Amino acid sequence: MVVVGAGIVGAATCYFLSKRGFRVRLIEAAAPAAAASGAADGAVSVASKRPGPMMTAALAGIALYRQLEQDGLFAGLFKSRPTVMVAENEKEAERLVEHAAALASEGMGLRYFEGGALRRHLPGVAPHVRLAVEVGEEGHAIGYEIVRRLIAASGVTVERGVAVTGLGPKDDGSGATAVRTALGVVEADHVVIAAGGGSAALLGLPHATQPRKGQLVVTERSPALAASLPGSLMSCRYLLSKDAIRVASAETGRRFGLVIDPLRTGQFLIGSTREERDDTGNDHDAVSRLLASAVKLMPALARLRVIRVFAGVRTATRDGLPIVGRMPGFENLLVATGFEGDGICLGPLIGREIARMVAGETTELDLTPFAPGRFELRSLVA
């Protein structure tokens, strides 16, 4: 059994397969959590989702985090907390009311705050904030910590620095169940491709995915200020930035959302841009705009120093849904990629479901909307 990619999805797949008794080889081109899983905001959240398959998956993902935290696997790594969405003007308030109604229609527990109640609940936000909607029962987890825990619990040693160059049939011609690497060919009864941005080219899906960069900022510690927020503070512009991507996915410009995240260290994580680029550099314009927006929403942040800026590249898909399931025509070849900003939330869940598929079990989550066959495929093995 071979899993390609040691990000959160690959690590979770490896863990759940190992729990079922499979002997797993985990192959990674660089190092565990070296890409998107190590540069994520850590949101385990459904707050920004619309009703549909992604909301269903996010709810199941959150439930699994809670279960694994209670079971001890994620002990000390998963922090339960709400997400508070805020509107700073009339347009945003209208959008937030609409979005909250959609969440409520799916049974989400919400609390609304305006006027004096808003000031008491969020004493640090600026006076111009019009409306706040709190989404309960969410959480936060640091991606690289989750990856490290999953790999350690699986008992598997990561084969680092092993780039996969292609897939091919086994010597008996039984299908695409051999992995070609610079170190030689690895044969397996099953292969799972969870290699993030590198997955699509390997699987004959070159036009199904695209890179989407996000820049983030980390402040120095301010425990008292961080404690004044009940959870992550999400400006409604985050929802609007996601809408802009849906209606103009081919645009090459830059969109800005705003999430102010109080970390357990007392620091703040501030993000993020959405850019159709695949580099991991930061630039002054993006960082300045993120900080200006954050200070406008929460003025006391102006007293803090920035101690780190970083960027990550997420793997997005053309239709906004991840690619998960068996590759058409290859019973023993599976894929899990294209999660964009939802990899931390969905990683453990998808790993569990992929392990069930490999074991011939029925998945709990309906993976039909995520099937790779919805995209045009080219031949994998010439």
Task: Enumerate residues 6+ apart whose C-beta is below 8 A from 155.
Answer: 18
Per-residue pLDDT, 249 = 39
Examine the domain organization and report whether 123 and 223 are in the same domain.
yes
Examine the domain organization and report whether 69 and 137 are in the same domain.
yes
Strand-by-strand arrangement of the 184-187 sheet:
164-168, 178-181, 184-187
Residue 169 in tokens = 């049939």
**Would residue 379 count as lying in a domain?**
no
Examine the domain organization and report whether 188 and 200 are in the same domain.
yes
Assess contact for 369 and 323: CB atoms under 8 A. Answer: no
CA 161, CA 154: separation in Å to the nearest integer?
A: 20
Per-residue pLDDT, 378 = 64
- Residue 105, domain extent: 43-141+209-317
Per-residue pLDDT, 243 = 58
Q: Could you give the angle at the alpha carbon of 276 between the alpha carbons of 289 and 284, nearest 5°?
A: 30
Examine the domain organization and report whether 127 and 219 are in the same domain.
yes
Examine the domain organization and report whether 274 and 168 are in the same domain.
no
Q: Got the DSSP string for 280-325?
A: ----HHHHHHHHHHHHHHSGGGGGSPEEEEEEEEEEEETTS--EEE
End-to-end Cα spacing for the chain: 23
Examine the domain organization and report whether 191 and 219 are in the same domain.
no
Per-residue pLDDT, 206 = 78
CA 362, CA 369: separation in Å to the nearest integer?
A: 16
CATH number at residue 333: 3.50.50.60
- Tell me which residues of the chain have a pLDDT lower than 70: 170-176, 241-253, 378-382
Per-residue pLDDT, 168 = 80
**Residue that terminates a domain, selected from 317, 343, 361:** 317
Examine the domain organization and report whether 213 and 114 are in the same domain.
yes
Number of folded domains in the chain?
A: 2
CA 22, CA 361: separation in Å to the nearest integer?
A: 14
Residues 217-236 have pLDDT tens digits of 999 999 999 999 999 999 98
